[in-house]
Amino acid sequence: MAAKPKQYVETMEEAYAYVQREWESSGWTLLGARGFCAVHVQSVRKSHPALPIFMNALAGLVVASNGAMLRLWGSTMPLALWVVNINYSQTRKSGLSAIAEVYAAAADRRMRKMFREILELKQSASCLNIAYNF
C-alpha cells in the first residue's frame, strides 16, 4: 500500500489532538459524572476510545428521544439519523455498531407501542361510531 501524503497524516493528527483535548476538558460538563463514567465503562469493555462511543450514543439518543420531529415536505415526520463510522480495518467498529443497535431496538419498541396505541384508539372510535351512529 502506498504511503499516505505527509500533509494528510499531519492534518489528521492535529484534528485528533484538538478533538481529544476538547473531549478531556468538556466531557464531564457534557455528560455529568455518571454519563462520563458510563461512556468510559463502555470504552474499557469495547477496547475503543471514549469519544467515538460518546458520539455514537449521542446520535442514538436523538433517535430514541420522545418527540424528535423534523419538518420536511410540508409536515412533521419522526427524525431519522444515520451514523456512518468510517475507519481502518480491525479498529473495533463492531463495538460501536452494537451500541447503535441498542438505541435502534429502543426506538423500535417505542414505535411499536405508539402504533399499537393508535390502532387501539381507531378501533375503539370505530366501535363507538357503530354503536351510536355518529
What single letter denotes the amino acid at residue 26? Answer: S
- Predicted pLDDT of residue 116: 87
Torsion angles phi and psi, residue 77, rounded to 5: -135, 155
**Residue linked to cell 454519563:** 35
Domain ranges of the chain: 6-107
What single letter denotes the amino acid at residue 53? Answer: I
DSSP H or E run through 69: strand 69-72
105 near 99, Cβ under 8 Å?
no
> Which class for 93: exposed (0-12), middle (13-18), buried (19 or more C-beta within 10 A)?
middle
- Predicted pLDDT of residue 49: 81
What number of residues does the chain have? 134
Cα(132)–Cα(79) distance, rounded to whole angstroms?
39
- Predicted pLDDT of residue 25: 85
Q: What is the pLDDT along the chain (134 residues), one digit of tens a residue?
A: 566 666 677 887 888 888 888 888 887 888 888 888 888 898 888 888 888 888 887 777 766 665 556 666 677 666 555 666 666 666 677 777 787 777 777 777 877 888 888 888 888 877 766 666 65
Cα(70)–Cα(37) distance, rounded to whole angstroms?
32
Cα(32)–Cα(82) distance, rounded to whole angstroms?
26
